[in-house]
Chain A
Amino acid sequence: MTGASQAALQASTTGRALPLALMAPALAIIAFYVIVPLVCLGAYSFWTMLPDGTVVRDFTLETWQSLVTDPFYGSVLLDTFRLAFVSTVICVVVGYGPAYLMASAAPKWRGVLTILLFLPSWISYLVRTMSWLPVLGKNGLVNTALLGAGVVEQPLPLLYNHFTVYLGLVHYLLPIMILNIYLGLATVDPTIVAAARTLGANARQAFLAVTFPLALPGLSAGCLLCFILSLGTFVTPQILGGPGTTYYGNLVYDTILHQLDWPTGAMLSVVIMVLLIALLYVYGRFMGLSTVLRAIKS
């Protein structure tokens, strides 16, 4: 009777005022500290920056034009997209197995595996990322081992290049992807799979025909989240990348805090927001908006 009770709460003597009052502070905070700033962001992207560095509110389209005219922006954007796409795919390929194992494991194992899965995500993003430095560095774990075993004569330059960024990003995203895939798999009713088996499907066929499609929402949610996180990533390329690797996050950071070119920085941020909204819209269309919320909740 939850419907009736909820209606009762609505109709009871305190009326409309209470729920709105309860939600007001939270909504106000979001309005002031998220929505208004985002609007300001849009505004800034159209304003002019004078040679001396101050910004005046003269409307100009130059900043936006530079997005098209300057090939640098385009290439960074492309690189970042590639990063996001490839990282997500790698996470799927690497992560599906463990997620499947977790989902089909006996409950006592599942508990252990879950904790082990969460462990990395509790540890600060920064620490996790920088932990690759002593592993891949010239005197790092890998090189020391390789040199010691005589496999190579010179230490390999494993750090500060695209490879490291990809590696670091995958390392960060993997637990998220595995978790989402696992959640998708956990919703599959085992009796349906059993039914498929009794009807003659072998294990592989049952998986492809029943399990995989039913678990798809989890997988796609994971992909969405990983993609979003990759697009905006800053710490990973900053720490693990080198002079040759500029991704979107580094670009924006540099533009705003080093070059102090706020209109451009704003414009770049708006671009990424628009892309994200477009992505969410497409995702919502295919998978339904509720799954977006559910994905976030995990």
Chain B
Amino acid sequence: MTADIDIRGVSKAYGQNQVVHGIDLAVPSGQFVALLGPSGCGKTTTLRMIAGLEQPSAGDIFIRGKRINDIEVHRRNIGLVFQNHALFPHKTAFDNIAFGLKYRNVAKPEIERRVKRALEIVRLPHVEDRLPRQLSGGQQQRIAVARAIVIEPDVLLFDEPLSSLDANLREEMRGELKRIQRTLGITTIFVTHDQSEALSMADHVVLMHNGRIEQAGTPDELYNWPRSEFAARFFGDVNEISGVVIDNAGETAKVRLAEGAVLQVASQSPLSGDVKLLLRAERARVVRTPIARADASSIEGTVASSDYFGMLVRYTVESQGQRIGVLQPLEGSVFRPGEAVQIQIPNNAWIRF
């Protein structure tokens, strides 16, 4: 099966500054891929290279089997939705959307039909005569999407389109964009720095770091089976605890922490010596009295602070000389600062590299 988008060994350097280091990526038809990473990791540069707004210093980019490196921007059949919608301020919504169709020699009645259909897909059927400045932020972004999809591109690219919207709007738009992509089935690459966005929207997540692909896989894979410390830390709330292995017989090692408490840590490969363990906040539980379990260990601590989120509560517990964050559903009342508690951690919750 030929991938719709095939990136092979693509690098980009600005003078001495190497921004992207030889990345390979193959995106099958119809897939929604998120390019995720902190700012400066090269994700936007990669997107722009696919669009043709930047030239790769090395490597090849193929779309539907055809090498597009030397094809100019306006001849690639790509739809790009920009971070700040980039709607033409002096044209109406209709003219904005119709813009791409004009340069594809589409007949006027056909243009009308397609623009109207695009407006329906983004659920804004009645705004065609308005100017961008007469639309709200969310509406502007949807028109931008309509403009990109109406040309029926081979590939749809999004450059952090939701970062300039406020929180509630962002949530709503996530669902909208996903629905639109599903409806049209266009291969899509979505650049974002927001991990929850990537996890909730994408079929496939590509995590980038310093110009390289750190890890690629389904959202589930990246969240639960991170293959590097960077990947582990990127998602969710992660604690770091150091200790010394005192016993590593069998599948469960015993690790002694700073003030003497002993943890049971499940591990596939043998542990020894000093170890650094990572723990996701939601895998632990703060309880008043722990139930003794073979598959979990518990350590003592004192609640330092609690943040109430309605259905969740986040505790910061002082234990073993450090602060450990724990996120859990709220059962009963909230533990108050100063209370003595126990943190219960399943053996297999520990992540280690």
Q: Which residues of A contact B (CB under 8 A)?
A: 1, 4-5, 7-8, 11-13
CB nearest to A8 among chain B residues: B53
A11 touches B44 (CB 8 A): no
CA distance A5 to B80 in the complex (A): 14
CA distance A4 to B54 in the complex (A): 9
CA distance A4 to B46 in the complex (A): 12
List B contacts of A11 (CB < 8 A): 54-55
CA distance A12 to B73 in the complex (A): 9
- Return the contact of B72 from the options A1, A4, A13 (Cβ within 8 A): A13
Q: Does B14 contact A (CB under 8 A)?
A: yes
Could you tell me how many residues of chain B have their Cβ less than 8 Å away from some Cβ of chain A?
11
CB distance from A49 to the nearest CB of B (A): 55
Known: A4-B45, A11-B54. 6 other contacts (CB 8 A): A1-B159, A4-B54, A7-B54, A8-B48, A8-B54, A12-B53
Q: Does B83 contact A (CB under 8 A)?
A: yes
CA distance A1 to B45 in the complex (A): 11
List B contacts of A7 (CB < 8 A): 14, 54
List B contacts of A4 (CB < 8 A): 44-45, 48, 54
User: Mind listing 20 A-B residue pairs with CB under 8 Å?
Assistant: A1-B44, A1-B83, A1-B159, A4-B44, A4-B45, A4-B48, A4-B54, A5-B53, A7-B14, A7-B54, A8-B48, A8-B53, A8-B54, A11-B54, A11-B55, A12-B53, A12-B55, A12-B73, A13-B55, A13-B72
CB distance from A57 to the nearest CB of B (A): 48
When A and B form their complex, what is the total count of cross-chain residue pairs whose Cβ atoms lie within 8 Å?
20
CB nearest to A14 among chain B residues: B72
**Residue in B44, B45, B53, B55 with the greatest tally of chain A CB atoms within 10 Å:** B53
Q: Digitize B319-350: 1 where CB-to-A-CB distance is under 8 Å, 0 elsewhere.
A: 00000000000000000000000000000000
List A contacts of B14 (CB < 8 A): 7
Q: Digitize B98-136: 1 where CB-to-A-CB distance is under 8 Å, 0 elsewhere.
A: 000000000000000000000000000000000000000
CB distance from B113 to the nearest CB of A (A): 33
CA distance A252 to B44 in the complex (A): 60
CB nearest to B12 among chain A residues: A11
List A contacts of B73 (CB < 8 A): 12
CA distance A13 to B73 in the complex (A): 9
CA distance A11 to B56 in the complex (A): 10
